C-alpha cells in the first residue's frame, strides 16, 4: 500500500481521457424517481422500501434545507468489504432525497461504480439490482462516466492521489482502542466534525464512520453546505456525495484525500471558472485538517 502525502500547491483536476473500450460505462449516481411530493414523504417511503429489500438504514443526515440522506448497508456490502483491502470504504451506500424547484428527486450512489473506484473484490451488482427494485432506476448520472478498468486506476493527474493513497489521520495501540476513541471523539463535535453513522465490517478489524462537517469563517472550506453549493449545481442533484467518511482499519485511522474523494463523484467539473474545482481549492486540506484534529490521539 502506498501512503504518499503529496500536497501540490495548485488544486488541479483534469477530465477523464476518452478511451475506446467495449466495457459498460459507469456513472457515480442513479436517479431512482423524480416528481411531486415532499422530502419527508419520500424519505419515509424510501426507508420502508429499503428495509423491505433487505437493507439496514444505519444513519441519516440532513446537510441543508430540502435534503435528506439515508445511509444503508446489507449482507453483500458487508461481505464484499470484508474480502477487499480497505473495503470498508464501500460497506455502505447513500440514498438522497432532494427537493429542487417543484419536484423531489430520489437518487443513490451506484454500487457497481463505487465497487470499482474502491477496488473491491466483487462488483456489487446484486446490491445495485436490489436498490433498483426497491427505489427505481431512471438513469445513471453525475459524469460522462468511465469503464470499470478506468475506475479501478482512477486519479486526477500526475502526483495526485489514488485510492490506495489515503491520508493517515491517527494511529492507536489497537483496533479496539482506535474505534472506541474515534466513536467518542466524533460525539464531541469539537472541530465541526460529528458522527452520522458507524458500520463495522464483520470478521475484520475495520469500521467506517460517516461524518457531518460544519464550518464557517476560517473553516468554511470544509463545510458540507458550502462545498455542495459550489459543485452540485446541475439539474440532477448529487446530494448522495455526502456524508464524508473516515475508516478505522486495524489500529490506524484513514480518510480518502479530497482530491480523490470529491472527484470520483464529480469528475467532469471544470478546473477553473464558475462552479469549478478552483472555487473549492482550499477544501482538500481543510477537510484533512479537520478530520485529523478530530480523531488524533
Q: Which of these, 247, 253, 86, 256, lies nearest to 171 by C-alpha position?
A: 253
| Residue that is written with C-alpha cell 467495449 in the block | 22
Q: Is 214:290 a contact under the CB 8 Å cutoff?
A: no
Phi-psi region of 133 (alpha: psi -120 to 50; beta: other; left: phi over 0): alpha
Mean pLDDT, the chain, whole residue set: 91
Q: What is the pLDDT of residues 179-200, one digit of tens each?
A: 999 999 999 998 999 999 999 9
Q: What is the pLDDT of residue 98?
A: 98
Q: What are phi and psi of 276, to 5 degrees?
A: -120, 170
The pLDDT of 112-129, averaged and rounded, is 97
Which domains does the chain show, CATH number per domain?
29-295 (3.30.310.70)
Q: What is the pLDDT of residues 210-245, one digit of tens each?
A: 999 999 999 999 999 999 999 999 999 999 999 999
Phi-psi region of 94 (alpha: psi -120 to 50; beta: other; left: phi over 0): beta
* Axis-axis angle for helices 75-83, 125-135 (nearest 10): 160
The pLDDT of 143-148, averaged and rounded, is 95
Is the pLDDT score of 9 beyond 80? no
Q: Which of these, 74, 70, 59, lies nearest to 109 by C-alpha position?
A: 70
Split at pLDDT 50, 70, 90, the class of 157 is low
Evaluate the omega torsion of the peptide bond into residue 112 and state whether it is cis, within 30 degrees of 0: no
Split at pLDDT 50, 70, 90, the class of 273 is confident
Is the pLDDT score of 12 beyond 50? no
3-state SS, one letter per residue, for 127-141: HHHHHHHHHCCCEEE
Look at 57 and 271; give whichever has higher pLDDT.
57
What does the alpha-carbon distance between residue 134 and residue 32 come to, in Å, rounded to a whole number?
9
Q: Which of these, 141, 146, 236, 253, lies nearest to 193 by C-alpha position?
A: 253
List alpha helices for the chain, DSSP H: 39-52, 75-83, 111-117, 125-135, 148-152, 175-188, 224-231, 258-261, 283-295
Element counts in the chain: helices (H) and strands (E): 9, 11
Rounded to 5°, angle at Cα 284 from 279 and 289: 130
Q: What is the pLDDT of residue 3?
A: 36
Q: What is the pLDDT of residue 146?
A: 94
36-46: b (≥16 Cβ within 10 Å) or e: ebebeebbeeb
Q: What is the pLDDT of residues 37-88, one digit of tens each?
A: 999 999 999 999 999 999 999 999 999 999 999 999 999 999 999 999 999 9
Is the pLDDT score of 159 beyond 80? no
Q: What is the pLDDT of residue 22?
A: 45
Q: What is the pLDDT of residue 89?
A: 98
Is the pLDDT score of 93 beyond 90? yes
Least-confidence region, from 78-87, 156-165, 205-214: 156-165
Under DSSP, is residue 282 helix (H, G, I), strand (E, B) or coil? coil
Q: What is the pLDDT of residue 59?
A: 98
Q: What is the pLDDT of residues 245-264, one digit of tens each?
A: 999 999 999 999 999 999 99
Q: What is the pLDDT of residue 174?
A: 98
CA distances from 100 to 28, 52, 159 (A): 20, 27, 37
Dig out the grid coordinates for 11 from the structure.
Answer: 488544486
| Residue that is written with C-alpha cell 442533484 in the block | 237
Amino acid at each position: 500500500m502506498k501512503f504518499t502525502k503529496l500536497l501540490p500547491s495548485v488544486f488541479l483536476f483534469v477530465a477523464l481521457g476518452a478511451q475506446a473500450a467495449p466495457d459498460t460505462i459507469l456513472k457515480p449516481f442513479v436517479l431512482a424517481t423524480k416528481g411531486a411530493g415532499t422530502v419527508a414523504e419520500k424519505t419515509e417511503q424510501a426507508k420502508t422500501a429499503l428495509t423491505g429489500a433487505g437493507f439496514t438504514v444505519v444513519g441519516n443526515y440532513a446537510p441543508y434545507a430540502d435534503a435528506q440522506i439515508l445511509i444503508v448497508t446489507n449482507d453483500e456490502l458487508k461481505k464484499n468489504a470484508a474480502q477487499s483491502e480497505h473495503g470498508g470504504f464501500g460497506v455502505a451506500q447513500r440514498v438522497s432525497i432532494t427537493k429542487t424547484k417543484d419536484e423531489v428527486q430520489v437518487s443513490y450512489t451506484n454500487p457497481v461504480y463505487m465497487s470499482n473506484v474502491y477496488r473491491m473484490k466483487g462488483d456489487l451488482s446484486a446490491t445495485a439490482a436490489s436498490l433498483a427494485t426497491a427505489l427505481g432506476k431512471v438513469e445513471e448520472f453525475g459524469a460522462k462516466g468511465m469503464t470499470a478498468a478506468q475506475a479501478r486506476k482512477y486519479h486526477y493527474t500526475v502526483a495526485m492521489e489514488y485510492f490506495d493513497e489515503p491520508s493517515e489521520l491517527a494511529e492507536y495501540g489497537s483496533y479496539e482502542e482506535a474505534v472506541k476513541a474515534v466513536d467518542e471523539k466524533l460525539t464531541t463535535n469539537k472541530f465541526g466534525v460529528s458522527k452520522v453513522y458507524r458500520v463495522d465490517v464483520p470478521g475484520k478489524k475495520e469500521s467506517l464512520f460517516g461524518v457531518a462537517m460544519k464550518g464557517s469563517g476560517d473553516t468554511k472550506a470544509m463545510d458540507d453546505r458550502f462545498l455542495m453549493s459550489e459543485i452540485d449545481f446541475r439539474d440532477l442533484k448529487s446530494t448522495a456525495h455526502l456524508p464524508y467518511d473516515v475508516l478505522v482499519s486495524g489500529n490506524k485511522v484513514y480518510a480518502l484525500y479530497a482530491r480523490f474523494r470529491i472527484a470520483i463523484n464529480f469528475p467532469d467539473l471544470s478546473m477553473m471558472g464558475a462552479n469549478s474545482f478552483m472555487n473549492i481549492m482550499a477544501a482538500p486540506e481543510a477537510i484533512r485538517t479537520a478530520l485529523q484534529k478530530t480523531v488524533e490521539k
